[in-house]
Structure 1
C-alpha cells in the first residue's frame, strides 16, 4: 500500500505540477497580451499628444491672426477717417477758391458792362449780382443742365431753393444764368 500511496502522491504532484504549469502558461500568455495592449495604448497616447500640440499651435495662430485683424481694422478705420477729413477740407478750400474767382470775374464783368454801356451811350439795364451769401447747406448733389432747365425747376426737383443754388454757384441772373451742359452744385437739406 505504500507503493500505491507513493504512486498516488507522485500522480497527484504530477497533476498539480501539470495544472500549475498550464496556469503559469496562461498567465504568461495573458501578460504578453497585456504588454501588447499597453504598447498600443502608448502609441495612441503619443499620437494624441502630437495632435494636441498641433491644435494648440493652430489655436495660437488663430488668436494671433484675430489680434492682427483687429489692429488692421482699427488702422483702416483711422486711415478712412483721416482721408474723409482731408477730402472735406480740400473740398471746402476748393469751393472758397472758386467763389473768390467767381466774385472777381463778376466784378470784372460788371466793370466791362458799364464800359460797354458808356461806349454805346446807353445805361446798363441792371447790375449783375456780385454779393452772394454763404448761408446755404454745404451738402447736396451735382446737376448737369439740360435744355429747358430753370433754377426753379432744378430747385423743386432736388428740394432746394433758387437762392441756395444761385449763392452756391455764384449765378448772378436767375433767368439767364444757366448754360446747357453746365454742371452746377445743388445744395440740399440732407
Structure 2
C-alpha cells in the first residue's frame, strides 16, 4: 500500500480543492552538463527576462533556490503496477522548440529519470516517487514528443560468468 499524506487524501476526496498535484522530473545523463529538471506546474515566476516559471522543491536537492524545476508543457502518465509487465510510464512534451528533438537524438545510451509527485501547497513533501527509471523510447511528431519511462531492462543484465561445474559448485553435485 502506498503511503500518502493526510492533506493529499483530503484533496483526493474533496469535491473542489485549490491544491494541485505536481509531477517533478529529473533527467540525468553523462553527456549532460547538469541534470534537466522539469515541473508540470507553473507554481511561481522565477524570472521576468526571460520569462520563466517553475517549482521550487527540496526533492533531490537541498537548495531549491539554486536549481528549481522549470515549468514545461508536459502531461504525465504514472508508472503502472501490472503483474506481467514492468512498471512503465509516459511523458508527452509539447514540441515548442526544435532543440528538444536534437537533444533526444544526441545520445545513444539510456538516460536516468527520477519522478516524484508533490502537492502545490507543500512541494517539499513527496507523496510518491519513482527513482532510477530509464528513458526507454523517445518518439513523436511536429506537435508533441512522447517519452517512455521504465525500469532498466533485465535483458541488459550480465549473465553469470561462472559455469556450474563440480569444481566451482560442489554442493550441487552431492
The verdict on a shared fold, with TM-score over 0.5 as the criterion, is no
Structure possessing the higher relative contact order (Cα contacts under 8 Å, 6 or more residues apart):
2
- For normalisation by structure 1, the TM-score amounts to 0.19
